[in-house]
């Protein structure tokens, strides 16, 4: 089977499959509007990937961001981030006019404080134009969209309208009748806030339409899209508000336990994430319907899914609410094989690969391998001096996705420049090179990943461009300053893409 003949049902990888791709969040694309979107720059990016022989584009979670603008704390597991709607496409579709907005100048990085009100104003204008007769031919399609997505969109539209009414506050701070979802109060709110709800739904309709066009364009050019599904959901989300019975909450609807990870080499106190945890018995009684719908929703936008925090499907670290650190937590079994069997039965396959990083115990590996789900390796994690380190390429198998680094890592150049002493020497020794310029390391490590046995080799765009730590996307544990990095058009015309093309051909990863 050739790479082009491989079906979109995706992983596990066929034994002879070799391909490569790049990691770049949509928000990091060039744009005149302060943030990347699914408009012309995304189509240009697909062309760039195709010309460089890349078969995959991986983005971060696509949901509407809440706290800290983190894509891993979305306001919904089903909705898309309305900031990704393309103004150019709205103009082309006749929903905006060029004079509907004044031109703004934005910083090179994503300035959310400037972008959010700007994009919201554009979407309000598009909605107003639509209400007043622009593109009447879309009314039937919009109504059909609302009907098809009602199982999540009705609650999400009301959730966002109430959040707007109460100045963005955490939903547990709303009046009790809304927190507790008193039916009469919800009916009254739907009437009072109907225009705001319609506008929220219309923004989702526009984004889904634009995203569908982008996916079709990518697939026609042999580029497949990888989405990212967070294991937990945000505490302040329509997911928890509309489905409290699916989470372990107390009588006041506050989380009884929150997610995290136990103490390890990196943190003596562990990590306390604060996300509500699932009531898996409740999910089991429904045949995991909400979870399967969540997967299906993401698959309408992408071709394969990275399962974030895969180990949570085997067991997750539950910390009592109110604990000051994650030390007080304990392991609680996840849904395990029953969940993946239900998904496979419903969808006909398991288009997943596992983010199996962190504290990995034998039960996690057994669950992953039982369903032939590809695992993840990150080359930056390989150089601790342990010859059995699974991130060393000599231990790679075919059914893997191998990265130079991920969105949570520093750029490879930035990572190497922070190494000291023996750690730095181990890298040079592994590469069988004399110590030299740090800029040589990124190229050499990309060659190492691309030459490995892993079926899929991946690198962030920052590594292709050999950028330093200033281009880092996220620093886990840092409260602010994340998710801002953005490339520009000059970067996407860099000679580095010719080198990537040559490397991809030389390592037999050409699509």
Q: Which structure tokens are listed for 185?
A: 């109060």
DSSP 59: -
- Rounded to whole angstroms, the Cα distance separating 145 from 181 reads 25
Q: Which structure tokens are listed for 388?
A: 């059995």
pTM of the model: 0.95
- Rounded to whole angstroms, the Cα distance separating 488 from 497 reads 14
| Mean pLDDT per 10-residue interval, the chain, length 511 residues | 42 88 98 96 97 97 93 97 97 90 84 95 96 95 98 98 97 98 98 98 98 97 97 97 98 96 80 94 98 96 96 97 94 98 94 93 97 97 95 96 97 95 92 83 96 98 96 88 94 91 97 68
DSSP per-residue string spanning 386-398: -TT-TTSGGG--S
Report the SS3 class of residue 274: strand
Q: Which residue has the tokens 């409290």?
A: 244
Residue 24: name the closest of 491, 495, 448 by CA.
491
Report the SS3 class of residue 28: helix
DSSP per-residue string spanning 351-370: -EEE---SS--HHHHHHHHH
Q: Which structure tokens are listed for 91?
A: 């103009």
Exposed/middle/buried for residue 281 (C-beta within 10 Å: 0-12, 13-18, 19+): exposed
Per-residue confidence (pLDDT) for residue 116, from 0 to 100? 96
CB 449 within 8 A of CB 23: no
CB 65 within 8 A of CB 234: no
Active site residue ranges: 308, 355, 408
Per-residue confidence (pLDDT) for residue 7, from 0 to 100? 45
SS3 content of the chain, % helix, strand, coil (to 5): 45, 10, 40
The CA–CA distances, whole Å, from 29 to 2, 46, 408, 461 equal: 30, 11, 18, 10
Q: Apex CA 240: angle with CA 484 and CA 174, to 5°?
A: 90
The CA–CA distances, whole Å, from 200 to 33, 131, 174, 491 equal: 20, 13, 19, 34
Q: Which residue has the tokens 């925090």?
A: 309
Q: Which residues of 356-376 are buried (b: 16+ CB within 10 A; e: fewer)?
A: bbeebeebbbebbeebebbbb
DSSP 115: H
Q: Which structure tokens are listed for 195?
A: 């225009």
Count of other CB atoms within 10 angstroms of residue 189:
19
């Amino acid at each position: 089977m050739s790479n082009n003949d491989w079906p979109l049902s995706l992983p596990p990888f066929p034994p002879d499959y070799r391909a490569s791709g790049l990691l770049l969040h949509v928000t990091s694309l060039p744009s005149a509007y302060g943030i990347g979107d699914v408009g012309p720059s995304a189509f240009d990016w697909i062309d760039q990937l195709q010309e460089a022989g890349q078969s995959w584009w991986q983005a971060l979670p696509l949901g509407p961001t809440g706290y800290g603008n983190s894509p891993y704390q979305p306001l919904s597991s089903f909705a898309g981030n309305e900031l990704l709607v393309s103004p150019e496409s709205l103009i082309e579709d006749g929903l905006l006019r060029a004079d509907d907005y004044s031109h703004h100048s934005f910083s090179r990085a994503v300035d959310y404080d400037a972008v959010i009100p700007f994009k919201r104003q554009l979407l309000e204008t598009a909605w107003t134009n639509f209400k007043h007769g622009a593109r009447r031919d879309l009314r039937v399609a919009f109504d059909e969209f609302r009907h098809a997505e009602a199982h999540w969109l009705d609650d999400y539209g009301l959730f966002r309208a109430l959040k707007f009414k109460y100045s963005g506050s955490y939903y547990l701070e709303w009046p009790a009748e809304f927190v507790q979802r008193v039916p009469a109060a919800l009916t009254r709110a739907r009437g009072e806030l109907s225009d705001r709800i319609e506008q929220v739904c219309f923004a989702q309709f526009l984004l889904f339409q634009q995203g569908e066009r982008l996916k079709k364009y990518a697939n026609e050019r042999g580029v497949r899209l990888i989405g990212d599904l967070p294991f937990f959901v945000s505490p302040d989300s329509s997911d928890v508000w509309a489905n409290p019975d699916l989470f372990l909450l107390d009588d006041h609807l506050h989380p009884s336990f929150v997610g995290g990870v136990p103490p390890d080499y990196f943190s003596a106190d562990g990590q306390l994430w604060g996300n509500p945890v699932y009531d898996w018995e409740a999910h089991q009684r429904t045949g995991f319907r909400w979870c399967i719908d969540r997967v299906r929703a993401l698959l309408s936008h992408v071709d394969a899914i990275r399962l974030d925090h895969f180990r949570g499907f085997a067991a997750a670290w539950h910390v009592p609410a109110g604990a000051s650190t994650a030390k007080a937590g304990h392991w609680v079994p996840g849904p395990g094989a029953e969940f993946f069997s239900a998904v496979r039965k419903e969808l006909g396959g398991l288009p997943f690969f596992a983010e199996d990083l962190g504290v990995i115990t034998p039960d996690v590996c057994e669950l992953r391998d039982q369903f032939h789900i590809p695992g993840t390796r990150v080359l930056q994690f390989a150089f601790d001096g342990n010859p059995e380190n699974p991130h060393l390429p000599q231990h790679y198998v075919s059914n893997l996705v191998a990265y130079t680094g991920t969105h949570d890592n520093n750029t490879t150049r930035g990572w190497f420049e922070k190494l000291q002493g023996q750690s730095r020497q181990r890298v040079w020794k592994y590469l069988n090179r004399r110590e030299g310029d740090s800029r040589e390391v990124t190229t050499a490590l990309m060659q190492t990943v691309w030459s490995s046995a892993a079926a899929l080799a991946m690198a962030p765009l920052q590594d292709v461009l050999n950028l330093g730590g200033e281009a880092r996307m996220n620093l886990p544990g840092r409260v602010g300053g994340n998710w801002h990095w953005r490339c520009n058009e000059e970067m996407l015309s860099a000679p580095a893409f010719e080198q990537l093309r040559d490397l991809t051909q030389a390592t037999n990863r050409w699509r």
